[in-house]
């Protein structure tokens, strides 16, 4: 298990989901683990960047003045790909011929 600051922040944000992880909580976590607050903020900015699929696991919560006031965990969206059948069915489940 990786004990990096980025992993600790991610697990802490995921742990308080669906509540907001405030900046005071970020500062306390950084201070308790011996990291600078600016380093924690940098790692959180990395978590807010979307990957190649456009998914970012953490969202920054901003106030009216566009200042970050906290962070939220975002679950990965679930989607399903449906394919059309290549051929119409010839028989139903009782064995009756459907096509004529």
pLDDT per residue over 29-60, tens digit each? 999 999 999 999 999 999 999 988 788 899 99
- Spell out the residues 6+ positions from residue 46 whose beta carbon is closer than 8 angstroms to its own: 6
pLDDT tens figures, 6-29: 999 999 999 998 899 999 999 999
Cα 85 from Cα 12, distance rounded (Å): 45
Return the pLDDT at 53.
Answer: 76
Provide, for the chain, the percentages of residues in helix, strand and coil under a 3-state DSSP scheme, each rounded to the nearest 5.
Answer: 35, 15, 50
Given a cut of 90, whether residue 94 has pLDDT beyond it is: no
Asked: is 1-100 a CATH 1.10.10.10 domain? The reply is yes
> pTM of the full predicted structure?
0.72
Nearest to 30 by CA among 49, 48, 6, 14: 6
Question: Please, what is the Cα angle at 70 between 64 and 75, to 5 degrees?
Answer: 110
């Amino acid at each position: 298990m990786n004990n990096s600051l980025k992993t600790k922040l991610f697990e802490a944000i995921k742990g308080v989901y669906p509540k907001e992880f405030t900046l005071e909580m970020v500062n306390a976590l950084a201070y308790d683990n011996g990291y600078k607050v600016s380093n924690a903020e940098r790692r959180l900015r990395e978590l807010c960047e979307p990957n190649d699929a456009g998914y970012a696991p953490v969202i920054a919560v901003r106030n009216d003045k566009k200042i970050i006031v906290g962070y939220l965990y975002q679950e990965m969206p679930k989607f399903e790909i449906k394919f059309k059948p290549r051929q119409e069915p010839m028989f139903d489940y009782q064995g009756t011929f459907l096509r004529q």
